[in-house]
Structures are given as structure tokens and as C-alpha cells.
């Protein structure tokens, strides 16, 4: 790869290798650059806060943790549901 994050190249390359549309992929990130990269690729993006605040981007869910996010939870995100555990913080 030529471009690092926040360029979406890494996600686009992975989707191409999997022969999937990036919109059929989920990306879980914990850094601002990673979140921007994943969101720019078109993947369903889950931003999980670890050490730093994460950017608020349209369509990106910001989660305090992945506890309780199973396959059913992922289906909600793929259906367009956005969750922001840090709204108003």
C-alpha cells in the first residue's frame, strides 16, 4: 500500500481482495485517523473509544465498548442505525 490512514486505501484494498463492496464490510477502529479511513472507504464504521476522543462523522457509530454487540447488533448497524454513546459529552 502506498497511503496510510486516514486514506481509505487499506480498507478498499481489503474489500477488493475479499471481492466485496466496502459497504458490505464492517470496520472497527479506535483512533481518529482509523475512523476517518474506515468511514471514507464506505464501510460500516464502529469507532470504539480507547484512549482518545473520536471524531463525530455522519453515519459513524461511536461506542464505549463492543460489549453486547453481536451479530444481531451488527445487523442494526448495517441497516443504518447509528449509535453514539458520547453524544452530549
The total of structural domains in the chain comes to 1
**Total length of the chain:** 89
- Say if residue 1's pLDDT is above 90: no
Q: Which residues form the domain of 55? A: 9-78
Domain with residue 71: its CATH number is 3.40.50.1000
Determine the Cα–Cα distance for residues 18 and 6; give it in Å rounded to an integer: 21
Cβ-proximal residues to 5 (8 Å cutoff; 6+ apart), any chain: 31, 33, 34, 36, 37
Query: What are the tens digits of pLDDT across the range 7-31?
Result: 999 999 999 999 999 999 999 999 9
Query: What are the tens digits of pLDDT across the range 34-89?
Result: 999 999 999 999 999 988 899 999 999 999 999 999 999 999 999 999 999 999 77
19 assigned to some structural domain: yes
Cβ-proximal residues to 17 (8 Å cutoff; 6+ apart), any chain: none
84 assigned to some structural domain: no
How confident is the model at residue 6, as a pLDDT?
Answer: 94
Amino acid at each position: 500500500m502506498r497511503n496510510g490512514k486516514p486514506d481509505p486505501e487499506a480498507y478498499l484494498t481489503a474489500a477488493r481482495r475479499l471481492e466485496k463492496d466496502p459497504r458490505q464490510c464492517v470496520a472497527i477502529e479506535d483512533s481518529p485517523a482509523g475512523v476517518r479511513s474506515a468511514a471514507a472507504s464506505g464501510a460500516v464504521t464502529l469507532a470504539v473509544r480507547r484512549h482518545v476522543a473520536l471524531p463525530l462523522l455522519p453515519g459513524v457509530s461511536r461506542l464505549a465498548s463492543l460489549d453486547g454487540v453481536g451479530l444481531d447488533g451488527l445487523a442494526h448497524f448495517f441497516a443504518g442505525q447509528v449509535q453514539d454513546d458520547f453524544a452530549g459529552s
